[in-house]
């Protein structure tokens, strides 16, 4: 076994299984594959050091391989202690020769050691899912920030953190908000989270959704996807929201909208996707039915007050993998899934490759964009340029064999003119 400074994974012996699963995912990632083929020829990332902090999955493996094909020197660490697929990590190290610092179930200290190892690579580009690398570069590694050409951010929560840094005037380098690309959040957050969250809950519990009351906290793109899929499985869906426009949308999409306080005694399954803290808390646990299931699919494990749940409980059992049954003093049990971490990645495999294809196409092209526009970018949060976003959609349609309509010259002229009215 190599020293932990070179990589730190569970076991290199898992690599065969990882390799075959990475190849399986690659077959669904047609857009990324096209980018990889171009990168192989053009080498737009030649000798650029990239440190990525992402969920270590088969889809991420294909992104890492694409960056490497573009000439980058890549290092990967986990963006969540529970989401690493150890077999994938092993194959990335063995087959792609990319150092990985990630072990599924790692504790907080190891998680931060792994971030540190990724930053020891002296990156010029960082890639985050939750802004942890950027946060380290602004707190403990300030001197290194001047070497960063730019960073890219995968998720809503990370973009919120980064925009807050930009607003406070403390952001030290440009960031591309990959999450905000339409080909990312309209698909990954909606279809990806919608399917993979249900997948995680089913793998953890094997519960039947039909006839259950599912409480979805948060009606952003992720919540919308989960509500839709829960309804399709036959559940009665209650949505809780704090923003009036989203609450109204949920109501007009046909869901019952109410407060968590009112939903607490009625729900069978609670799913948080708000990006905020303490969404399900003490007063809610007290009102829940015996056997209620509570899980989170938001980025950080802060949405469910686990500390309160622990304090309120007299015992905790593990009836199944990924399920912790907390017995309250009243005798009722509340089942917490996946330690309150992203259930889709803790208990399942995250979003399917076909949707990650577009998210990671954005990541690969964002890295290329940072290198190409290195001198022009300010210390700001940028959206992915529209031409990149649209090109990804165009390529995805092409690889799906979908032919779509074109404007006629007459229609183009009409849209470009302002003279024709009533
Ligand atoms: N985020 C959600 N699903 C993912 C996946 N399959 N790979 C990487 N990041 C993800």
pLDDT in tens, 314-349: 999 999 999 999 999 999 999 999 999 999 999 999
Beta bridge partners, 128, equal 53, 153
- Specify burial of residue 116 (Cβ count, 10 A radius: 0-12, 13-18, 19+): middle
Angle at 75 between CA 74 and CA 79, to 5 degrees: 125
Residue 115 pLDDT > 60: yes
Give the alpha-carbon dihedral of 344, 348, 353, 356, to 10 degrees. 20
d(CA 259, CA 283): 12
Laid out side by side, the sheet with 125-128 consists of 100-101, 73-78, 49-54, 125-128, 150-153, 175-177, 381-383
pLDDT at residue 1 greater than cutoff 60? no
Q: Is the pLDDT of residue 396 over 80?
A: yes
What are the backbone angles phi and psi of residue 295, rounded to the nearest 5°? -150, 170
Q: Which of 369, 392, 389 is nearest to 175 (CA)?
A: 369
373 is in an annotated binding site: no
Q: Contact, 33 vs 358, CB < 8 A?
A: no
**Residue carrying structure tokens 């704090």:** 242
Please determine, for residue 422, whether its predicted confidence score (pLDDT) is greater than 90. no
Identify which of 189, 350, 355, 361 to mutate to test ligand 1's pocket (most ligand atoms within 8 A of the CB): 350
Q: Would you state the pLDDT for residue 3?
A: 47
What is the rounded average pLDDT for all residues in the chain? 97
8 A C-beta contact, residue 290 and residue 301: no
> Is pLDDT at 157 greater than 50 in this prediction?
yes
C-alpha 102: how far from chain center: 16
Q: Known binder of ligand: residue 236?
A: no
Coil vs helix vs strand at 52: strand
User: For residue 153, what are the β-bridge partners?
Assistant: 128, 177
Task: Please tell me whether 189 is known to bind a ligand.
Answer: yes
What's the pTM? 0.95
Q: Is the pLDDT of residue 4 over 90?
A: no
Cα torsion through 335, 292, 156, 123, rounded to 10: 10
- 206 assigned binding-site residue: no
Neighbouring C-beta atoms of residue 263, cutoff 10 Å: 24
pLDDT of 5:
77
Q: Taking CB atoms and a 6 Å cutoff, what residues make up the pocket around ligand 1? A: 54-55, 57, 59-60, 345, 350-351, 356
| Ligand 1 centroid from CA 351, angstroms | 5
Tens digits of residue pLDDT in 126-144: 999 999 999 999 999 999 9
Atom of ligand 1 nearest to the CA of 196: 3
Residue 221 has pLDDT above 60, yes or no: yes
User: Which domains are delineated in the chain?
Assistant: 12-184+351-399 (3.40.50.1480), 193-346 (3.40.50.720)
Q: Are strands 100-101 and 150-153 parallel, antiparallel or unpaired?
A: unpaired
Structure tokens that stand for 297 in this block: 């699919």
User: CA–CA separation, 288 vs 43, rounded Å?
Assistant: 56
Atom of ligand 1 nearest to the CA of 352: 6
**Which residues face 175 on adjacent strands?**
151, 381
Q: Is 351 marked as binding a ligand?
A: yes
Test site for ligand 1: of 85, 130, 187, 359, most ligand atoms within 8 A of the Cβ: 359
296's tokens: 């989170």
Q: What is the pLDDT of residues 59-105, one digit of tens each?
A: 999 999 999 999 999 999 999 999 999 999 999 999 999 999 999 99
């Amino acid at each position: 076994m190599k020293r932990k400074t070179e990589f730190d994974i569970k076991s290199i012996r898992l690599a065969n299984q990882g390799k075959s699963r990475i190849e399986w995912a690659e077959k669904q990632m047609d857009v990324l594959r096209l980018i990889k083929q171009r990168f192989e020829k053009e080498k737009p990332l030649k000798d650029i050091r990239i440190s990525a902090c992402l969920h270590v999955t088969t889809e991420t493996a294909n992104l890492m391989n694409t960056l490497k094909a573009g000439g980058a020197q890549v290092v990967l660490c986990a963006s969540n202690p529970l989401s690493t697929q150890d077999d994938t990590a092993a194959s990335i190290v063995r087959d792609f020769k990319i150092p990985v610092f990630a072990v599924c179930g790692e504790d907080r200290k190891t998680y931060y050691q792994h971030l540190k190892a990724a930053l020891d690579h002296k990156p010029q580009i960082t890639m985050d899912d939750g802004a942890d690398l950027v946060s380290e570069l602004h707190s403990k590694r300030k001197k290194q920030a001047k070497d960063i050409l730019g960073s890219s951010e995968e998720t809503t929560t990370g973009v919120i953190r980064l925009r807050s840094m930009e607003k406070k005037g403390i952001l030290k380098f440009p960031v591309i908000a990959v999450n905000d690309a339409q080909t990312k959040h309209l698909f990954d957050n909606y279809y990806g989270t919608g399917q993979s969250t249900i997948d995680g809950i089913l793998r953890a519990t094997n519960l039947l959704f039909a006839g259950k009351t599912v409480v979805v906290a948060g009606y952003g793109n992720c919540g919308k996807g989960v509500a839709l899929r829960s309804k399709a499985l036959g559940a009665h869906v209650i949505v809780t929201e704090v923003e009036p426009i989203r609450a109204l949308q949920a109501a007009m999409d046909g869901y019952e909208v109410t407060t968590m306080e009112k939903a607490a005694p009625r729900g069978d399954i609670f799913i948080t996707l708000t990006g905020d803290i303490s969404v399900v808390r003490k007063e809610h646990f007290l009102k829940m039915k015996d056997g209620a299931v509570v899980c989170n699919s938001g980025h950080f494990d802060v949405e469910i007050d686990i500390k309160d749940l622990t304090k309120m409980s007299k015992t905790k059992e593990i009836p199944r993998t990924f399920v912790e049954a907390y017995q309250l003093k009243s005798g009722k049990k509340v089942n917490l899934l996946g330690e309150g971490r992203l259930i889709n990645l803790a208990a399942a495999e995250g979003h399917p490759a076909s949707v990650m294809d577009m998210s990671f196409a954005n990541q690969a092209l964002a890295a290329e964009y940072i290198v190409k526009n290195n001198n022009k970018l300010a210390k700001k949060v940028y959206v992915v340029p529209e031409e990149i976003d649209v090109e990804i959609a165009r390529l995805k349609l092409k690889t799906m064999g979908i032919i779509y309509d074109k404007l006629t010259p007459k229609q183009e002229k009409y849209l470009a003119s302002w003279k024709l009215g009533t």
